[in-house]
Amino acid sequence: MTTENDKHEMLIVTGMSGAGRSTVANALEDLGWYVVDNLPPQMLRPLVELVSRAGTSLPKIAAVVDIRGRGFFSDFQEIVQSLRKSARVRIIFLEARDDVLVRRFESVRRPHPLQGDGTILDGISAERSKLSAVRESCDLVIDTSDLNIHQLATSITERFAAADTAGVNVTLMSFGFKYGLPTDVDMVADVRFLPNPFWIPELRAHTGQDAEVRDFVLAQAGAVEFLDNYAAALEPVLAGYQRENKRHVTIAVGCTGGKHRSVAMSAEIARRIKDFPGVAVSLKNRDLGRE
């Protein structure tokens, strides 16, 4: 009888053209994954069977599947459901804003695969429409709009280097609302209900990583109560994600500028959930140093 631990691991990389699939493929290859690029969806099942015959020499495989694959949209869901019976399958969806994708295509002077006689934006719109259902079924969505190739590769390395050591990998991301909501997150917590250390002259130049700011934030009414209750609420959610094979979760914690409260509070949330069963935690401060 095949158990979950006996199954080979397959990662399917898909998403918008120009969003960084090649960069992700290269990063995974550097981490020891066996990567196959531009694979038609109908070839996913034979690939899993081939790897199964290879035994432990190819324990982790990644396939880049995109709009160029014939029959992608009609067969994809059925194929993935079938694969889950014999492999641990996860799907990464890469996306970016329309203006960013247009700029990327223009910079390499290549047409969008779906633009036909129209514009690049016409092709992007058509692709986004065709991929909408696929995006909804993905395990991880990464918005690469504000990432260069090195930052995207680093993000993949951080997410997948230790993927075998935890049931779910949680990223706590601090951010500033004045710089916009992050798009590639699963949950958002707003800690602007706490007094802002920015208005304390001796704390203004410090950050939430400094003891002075952290102690000030945690001493405020409601801070510890929020942390304890939020962590308690996350415990069954993260356990459920593991049962549903959702391996990567990003929780954004926001304050006004992403320098004081959100940095301190995200670190405290991380400290409270790091010992949950099957959970690995990492911290990311999106806007720290941006002011």
Q: What domains are there in the chain, each with its CATH number?
A: 9-161 (3.40.50.300), 168-285 (no CATH)
Instruction: Summarize the confidence of residues 3-28 as an average pLDDT.
Output: 83
Give the pLDDT of residue 158: 76
pLDDT at 225: 98
Residues 42, 49: contact at Cβ < 8 Å? Answer: no
Neighbours of 111 (CB within 10 A): 12
User: For residue 5, is pLDDT > 90?
Assistant: no
| Mean pLDDT, range 226-237, rounded to an integer | 97
pTM of the model: 0.61
Q: Per residue in 89-106, pLDDT tens?
A: 889 999 999 999 999 999
Residue 66 backbone dihedrals phi, psi, to 5 degrees: -145, -170
- Binding-site residues, please? 15-22, 66-69
Of the pLDDT bands very low, low, confident and very high (cuts 50, 70, 90), residue 210 is: very high
Share of the chain above pLDDT 90, in %: 53
- Structure confidence at residue 54 as a pLDDT band (50, 70, 90): low
Can you give the pLDDT at residue 6? 53
- Spatial neighbors of 290 by CB under 8 A, at least 6 apart, are 176, 179, 257, 258
Closest by Cα among 100, 118, 123, 290 to 207: 290
> At 7, is the pLDDT very low, low, confident or very high (cuts 50, 70, 90)?
low
Binding residues for ATP, as ranges, are 15-22
Distance from C-alpha of 209 to C-alpha of 285, rounded to nearest angstrom: 10
Sign for the pseudo-dihedral over CA of 151, 152, 153, 154 = positive
Residues 12-40, buried b or exposed e (16+ Cβ, 10 A)?
bbbbbbbbbbebbbbbbeebebbbbeebe
Mean pLDDT is lowest, of 75-84, 244-253, 262-271, for 75-84
- What is the end-to-end Cα distance of the chain in Å, rounded? 57
What are the distances in angstroms from CA 4 to CA 7, 86, 87, 245, 254? Answer: 5, 9, 8, 11, 37
Helix (H, G, I), strand (E, B) or coil at 160: helix
Q: Alpha-carbon distance 209 to 222, whole Å?
A: 20
The pLDDT of residue 155 = 84
User: CA 287, CA 178: separation in Å to the nearest integer?
Assistant: 10
Residue 22: what pLDDT?
Answer: 92
**Per-residue pLDDT at 169 exceeds 80:** yes
Q: Which of 109-113, 143-147, 175-179 has the lowest mean pLDDT?
A: 109-113
Spatial separation of the C-alpha atoms in residues 149 and 134, rounded to whole Å: 24
Binding-site positions for GTP? 66-69
Place of tokens 């690469």: 144
